[in-house]
Amino acid sequence: MNYVSHYESPIGGMTMTSDGESLTGLMFDGETYFEEVLGSEAVQDGRETELLPVFQQTIKWLDTYFQGSVPDFTPKLVITGSPFRKRVCQIMLTIPYGHTMSYGQIAEIIAAERGIKKMAAQAVGGAVGHNPISLIIPCHRVVGSDGSLTGYGGGIEKKSALLELERSGSLG
């Protein structure tokens, strides 16, 4: 069963999904691939007084993050998708708060791990674009090889705002 709850961030509504134990999705409402993460059997977490513990933890993480601080914990996550997508998500989890990594750099890491000369940055871009757990798995920290802000399912404006928050500690 897929449970759903909502969070209102300073830059737009977000939807959280859970299998009841772990966070399986976190996306800005209307984000690219939103329906794919939401699933067809989603059940609204209707408990008004007490949300699932993983949703409580995720809200605490998001509140800390949007206050301009680095959360010192991560809710329990389940990363879905192909082994390649999961590996890209694992690499994104290593990008420190306030820093960025290019699609090409991620491709180089995976190519080295696989013992091949080259991996297409576009393949990495596709995997980054399908990241089911925005912010916590920081796909907003992945940029073009020249540092340009490219491709963010929540919109370039949100990506820019998130990177600014991490640089300055506030949202503009």
Residues classed as catalytic: 139
Taking the C-alpha atoms of residue 70 and residue 106, their distance in angstroms, rounded to an integer, is: 23
DSSP E strand stretches across the chain: 2-9, 12-18, 23-28, 42-44, 101-102, 142-143
- Tokens linked to 66: 């949007």
Taking the C-alpha atoms of residue 54 and residue 16, their distance in angstroms, rounded to an integer, is: 10
- One-letter amino acid for residue 75 of the chain: P
Taking the C-alpha atoms of residue 108 and residue 145, their distance in angstroms, rounded to an integer, is: 12
- Provide the b/e sequence for 93-109 (b: ≥16 CB within 10 Å): eebeeeebbbbbbbbeb
- Tokens linked to 38: 């939401």
